[in-house]
Amino acid sequence: MAVAAATVLLLSGVSAAHTTEQPYLYLFVSPDALDGRAELAVGDVEAVLGVDLGQDDTEIEQSLRANTAALHNYLSRHLAIGDGTSDWPIRFGPIDLFRERPGELAFAVIQYTVDVPSAGIPSRLDVRFDPFLTEIPGRDGLLLLNGGFQAGEYVADQESLITYTAETAVQSVDLGGQGVRGNLRSSITLGVDHIKTGPDHILFVLALMLPSVLVFRDRWHPIAGFGPSLWRILKIATFFTLAHSITFTLAGMGWLPTPPSKVVESIIAISIAAAALHNVWPLFPNREWSLSFLFGLFHGMGFASLVSDLEVSRSSQLLSLLGRNVGIEIGQVVVILLLFPTLYLLRRTPVYPPTFTVASIVLAALALLWTVERVFEVTLGTDDLVDQFVTVPRAYWLAAGLTAAAAVAHRYFSANGRLAPAAETYRG
């Protein structure tokens, strides 16, 4: 990884793909002017503005332009740029449709120009950017700033990445240099947010965690000891991390050709079903790490879309790549810490075997529905159903409630002598 990182720093280039529904704001800074463009997912535009833009690209583009006034009006209420004391006038231009290739997400692209006051551009700007962030749960946005000043001199290739959420809709942007630390912090935040708003990843981790407190010896048995149970899930998580880091890096930097997002997302859904069904009919008993590594390769391709859609230089892409990878790992660790105590407390109780089987079947069913949705591009309401349980902060309260219930169940069955005997220590 270190060699790869060093190599990338010597490269330069631009990526223009856009494979997430996240709204983007590009802000280009020149010595005496500010302009840029906003990219808004067509699906979000339809949902929030209540308009039907049509089906084929020609019809969508015509509908976008027919609704130019409504889009300009909406964006003017959700975008503001100024010096901290006042917002400067913004003039919006024509609206175009962008879709990289058939089957990919479509975006309304709105050009804009800022009327900079005669005093010129200060060293720090206040930028508010919050389209869809309050209307659509879990949505966040990203500002990609190009250009700035160092020691009073204009630097054309200075780049900054800044994250926007409903809670941080106004950001103070330092044109003197956001710096490596700021870009890295923003990228880590985006990685964590991807886990918080990515139910498919959370369910994949859950499917792998369910057998982590068990060991297979002709059938599933509770593992003896907290340490071996924790080691089992950490081993599974580590191999998953290694796998998705490999493809995440290669695909994110453009070194590995990736299939269309429709194919990758469908395989990710299939991986959840496979991991869940493995719990019921084990194909790799006590070797779940191999399953996590195999499907982690495909999850890495999905994560790569978080970086490949940034229209920034390769060095900034590397920084975003590293930061988002760290953020994804932080989010994954949080999921494990939230769920592992419940599984460990329940593993020897009579409650766990049926819970283990039913949860695995439900996960497999949801994943298969996801697969159908992604292959045939239909909506079956699966996301809305899953979001009822995995969105933050509801998921935290649910995890706390499950842990408390598991503690009560463990105490009850222990007092009644109904805890199952633990199997030998896991040594896989």
**Gap between the Cα atoms of 175 and 29, Å rounded:** 9
Confidence label for 261 from pLDDT (cuts 50, 70 and 90)? confident
Please state, as a whole number, how many other Cβ atoms lie within 10 Å of the Cβ of residue 244. Answer: 27
Fill in the DSSP letter of residue 87: B
The first and second tokens of residue 63, run together, are: 């509908």
Q: Answer yes or no: is pLDDT of 418 > 80.
A: yes
177-196 residue pLDDT tens: 555 666 677 678 777 777 77
CB of 300 closer than 8 Å to CB of 246: yes
Mean pLDDT computed over 404-424: 92
CB of 134 closer than 8 Å to CB of 166: yes
pTM value is: 0.65
- What's the order of all strands across the beta sheet hosting 79-82? 79-82, 124-129, 170-174
**Gap between the Cα atoms of 320 and 322, Å rounded:** 6
Q: Answer yes or no: is pLDDT of 366 > 90.
A: yes
Q: Which residues pair with 110 in a beta bridge?
A: 38, 95
More reliable by pLDDT, 214 or 149:
214
Q: Answer yes or no: is pLDDT of 6 > 70.
A: no
How many residues are present in the chain?
A: 428
198-254 residue pLDDT tens: 678 788 889 989 998 998 888 899 988 888 888 888 888 888 888 888 887 787 677
Per-position DSSP letters for 346-361, written without gaps between them: HTTSTTHHHHHHHHHH
Mean pLDDT computed over 377-402: 82
pLDDT of residue 13: 32
Q: How much of the chain, in percent, has pLDDT values that exceed 90? A: 41
Mean pLDDT computed over 45-59: 92
- Rounded to 10 deg, the angle between the 226-252 and 288-308 helix axes is 40
- Residue 407 in 3-state DSSP? helix
The radius of gyration computed from the CA coordinates of the chain, to the nearest angstrom, equals 24
**Gap between the Cα atoms of 402 and 276, Å rounded:** 20
**Gap between the Cα atoms of 261 and 309, Å rounded:** 12
Please state, as a whole number, how many other Cβ atoms lie within 10 Å of the Cβ of residue 125. Answer: 21
Q: Answer yes or no: is pLDDT of 154 > 80.
A: no
Mean pLDDT across the chain: 83
Closest to 394 (Cα-Cα) out of 382, 386, 383? 386
Closest to 370 (Cα-Cα) out of 139, 201, 236? 201
Fill in the DSSP letter of residue 107: E
113-125 residue pLDDT tens: 999 998 888 888 9
**Gap between the Cα atoms of 400 and 426, Å rounded:** 27
Q: Tokens 């709105």 identify what position?
A: 110
Segment among 8-17, 24-33, 117-126, 328-337 with least mean pLDDT: 8-17
Phi-psi region of 339 (alpha: psi -120 to 50; beta: other; left: phi over 0): alpha
286-310 residue pLDDT tens: 888 898 899 888 888 876 666 666 6
Domain ranges of the chain: 2-177, 193-415
More reliable by pLDDT, 319 or 285:
285
- Rounded to 10 deg, the angle between the 57-66 and 42-49 helix axes is 50
Fill in the DSSP letter of residue 230: H
More reliable by pLDDT, 7 or 300:
300
Omega of the bond leading into 89 within 30 degrees of 0 (cis): no
Mean pLDDT computed over 246-264: 79
Q: How much of the chain, in percent, has pLDDT values that exceed 70? A: 86
Q: Tokens 């009327």 identify what position?
A: 115
